[in-house]
Chains A and B, each alone.
Chain A
Amino acid sequence: MEYPSKLIEEAVNEVSKLPGIGKKTALRLVLHLIKETEHQTFALTEALNKLRKNIRYCNTCFNISDNEECAICTSHRRDKSIVCVVEESKDVMAIENTAQYTGVYHVLGGVISPIQGVGPGDLQIESLVLRVSKSTEIKEIILALNPTMEGDTTSFYLNRKLQGLPVKVTSIARGVPVGGDLEYADEITLGRSITARTLFH
């Protein structure tokens, strides 16, 4: 596409790198931004800058957090004896939305996939094993990874790594649609699958 300005072109290129946004949508967004007041655009860039500079991960569960420890890990109402292992922070949000789960989390940051160059060392796996072995509280680990082949492999690997530690390893009942992300599972099925979990085998 021919753009009337180099500035527009650069902005479109950057915006279209975002997932799910093609060049056409990016152009529409960019044209919208320059129609707005300067103040509004700078409010957006300021928010993004702050986000990028200050975003942190909880030292315990590696969920996105404003502080060293996230609100879930520091809450006295959460049951610290159960740890639910998920792929990403968005999965924490999906499970929190069900209001069915009162334990804490551990966010891996992805799944093992050698094709994509992701090995166990790139994920929060060692930290999970360490967290379990150092804790006297943790009684149960729930594996709640997405029902994909990578999720399955990663669950199997985690179960092996947790063997020998005094915890029960369970996985969520797959009421979750096959091939679907946890994020898209509706809240009722997801909530039910967390309560009706089974021993991992």
Chain B
Amino acid sequence: MFLQQLYLFNFRNIEEARLSFADRIICLLGKNGSGKTTVLDAIHYLSFTKSAVNPADAQNIRHGEQQFVIRGKFQEQETTTEVTCAYTTGQKKIINEDGRDYAKFSDHVGKYPVVMIAPQDIELIWDGSELRRKFVDSVLSQLDKTYLENLIVYTYQLKQRNSLLKSFAEAGRVDQDLLASYDHRLVPAAHYIFEARANFLKFFIPFFRDQYRYLVGDVGEEVSIEYQSDLRDKDFATLLSQNLQRDVLLQRTTTGIHRDDFDFRINGFELKRHGSQGQQKSFLIALKLAEFQAIAEKKKFKPILLLDDIFDKLDDERIHQLMRLVAQGQFGQLLITDARADRTLQIMETEKLNATIFRVENGKVTNG
């Protein structure tokens, strides 16, 4: 997949930008806060119908303005398509492909896949289970539309169910029929999601291990991701009825796939506690490269790779390994941001890579 043109209007800190991408590698160079991440986020938006940085659309409009627009022209084989995302204060956002508005955004997600590697990925290791679920969800959503639809149903009905449990507490009584009205949709959605997550890991882990081995060499380190879920031993309907009293007492649903976790392990131990900084970084990059491969394998074309400020966080050896993959043509289109222009230009020269260079300053993007 190739992004030929990108247009931004009042998106975050960029007033207007019109970019044409001729090369496979595009570098956006400029100080932190200049707007280079905004360009990557705009591409993320076109892919996922939302920002990677801020999920609140109202806050993604440039300060003092009423509307933002992002438009991208994508090419895959002989076909080009134009995707537009527009949001106006107080209105429903619009996602449009070649002039046709989507009724359901879930129909769009996965058509223009993107993989992003960013410094905050480290939170996948350090933070709670929610981010790890989000990671798996974002990969799976791009591969399986039914998964995304089930996830939307589950998330929404769970929110309703939790509000309902609160209202039971206020009213002092439980309406079993009403509870059942939510459970009848939650149960099949949860089972679909559980199966899909378990199957996905089986498919994903070989890619992941290959990438890790490539990054660290054959040093006998064994990495794994273990899926933890309440649904592993019991079906969800049973779990819900067993936990009913506790749910009513705590006024929220205490069991389900919204509590799933993915344990990151190295040589059988918890990566967060026992992995060195270097091992953790390699783990994360391997995770993202495996995401790239998994999507490329299923879609039969390569997603766009976004590397946001990662040279800062990586040592020379890992940068070199990554760039060697680039030089070998492992990736399709690739966008790189860096605050240190000299470093990126140096890397491009050392690895003999042709790149289109953009300078970003105070929300203005210029060629060269």
Instruction: Give A residues with C-beta under 8 Å from B.
Output: 22, 112-115, 117, 119-120, 149-150, 152-154, 156-157, 160-161, 177-180
The one of A114, A153, A177 that contacts B103, using a Cβ cutoff of 8 Å:
A177
B160 with A157: CB separation less than 8 A: no
Q: How large is the interface on B (under 10, 10 to 19, 20 to 34, 35 or more residues)?
A: 20 to 34
Q: Does residue B182 face the partner (Cβ distance < 8 Å to A)?
A: yes
Q: A152-B185, A177-B103 are in contact. Are A161 and B90 (CB under 8 A)?
A: no
Most buried by B among A153, A177, A180: A153
Distance in angstroms from A182 CB to nearest chain B CB is 15
Interface residues of B in 88-138 (CB under 8 A from A): 90, 103-104
Cα–Cα distance between A40 and B160 once the two chains are bound (Å): 47
Chain B contacts for A161, CB-based, 8 A: 177
The one of B90, B164, B181 that contacts A156, using a Cβ cutoff of 8 Å:
B181
A112 with B178: CB separation less than 8 A: yes
Chain B contacts for A149, CB-based, 8 A: 153, 156-157, 160, 185
Chain A contacts for B166, CB-based, 8 A: 114
A153 with B181: CB separation less than 8 A: yes
Chain A contacts for B177, CB-based, 8 A: 157, 160-161
Name the CB-closest residue of B to A160: B177
The one of A119, A154, A180 that contacts B167, using a Cβ cutoff of 8 Å:
A119
Chain A contacts for B103, CB-based, 8 A: 177-180
Distance in angstroms from A157 CB to nearest chain B CB is 4
Distance in angstroms from B28 CB to nearest chain A CB is 36
Cα–Cα distance between A26 and B9 once the two chains are bound (Å): 27
Per-position binary interface string of chain B over residues 175-188, scored 1 when its CB falls under 8 Å from any chain A CB and 0 otherwise: 10110111011000
The one of B90, B159, B182 that contacts A153, using a Cβ cutoff of 8 Å:
B182
Chain B contacts for A180, CB-based, 8 A: 103
Closest 4 CB pairs of A and B: A114-B163, A114-B164, A157-B181, A156-B181
A179 with B104: CB separation less than 8 A: yes
A120 with B153: CB separation less than 8 A: no
Cα–Cα distance between A156 and B166 once the two chains are bound (Å): 21
Cα–Cα distance between A149 and B164 once the two chains are bound (Å): 15
The one of B164, B167, B180 that contacts A160, using a Cβ cutoff of 8 Å:
B180
| A-B contact list, 24 entries, CB within 8 Å | A112-B178, A112-B181, A113-B160, A114-B163, A114-B166, A114-B167, A115-B159, A115-B163, A119-B167, A120-B175, A120-B178, A149-B160, A152-B185, A153-B157, A153-B160, A153-B185, A154-B181, A156-B184, A156-B185, A157-B181, A160-B180, A178-B103, A179-B103, A179-B104
Q: A120-B175, A149-B185 are in contact. Are A178 and B104 (CB under 8 A)?
A: yes
Distance in angstroms from B98 CB to nearest chain A CB is 20
Name the CB-closest residue of B to A154: B181
Cα–Cα distance between A119 and B181 once the two chains are bound (Å): 12
Chain B contacts for A152, CB-based, 8 A: 185
Name the CB-closest residue of B to A22: B90
Distance in angstroms from B162 CB to nearest chain A CB is 8
Chain B contacts for A117, CB-based, 8 A: 167
Known contacts A113-B160, A156-B181, A160-B177; 7 further A-B pairs (Cβ under 8 A):
A115-B160, A153-B185, A157-B178, A177-B103, A178-B103, A178-B104, A179-B103
Name the CB-closest residue of A to B177: A160
Name the CB-closest residue of B to A161: B177
Per-position binary interface string of chain B over residues 139-174, scored 1 when its CB falls under 8 Å from any chain A CB and 0 otherwise: 000000000000001001101110110110000000
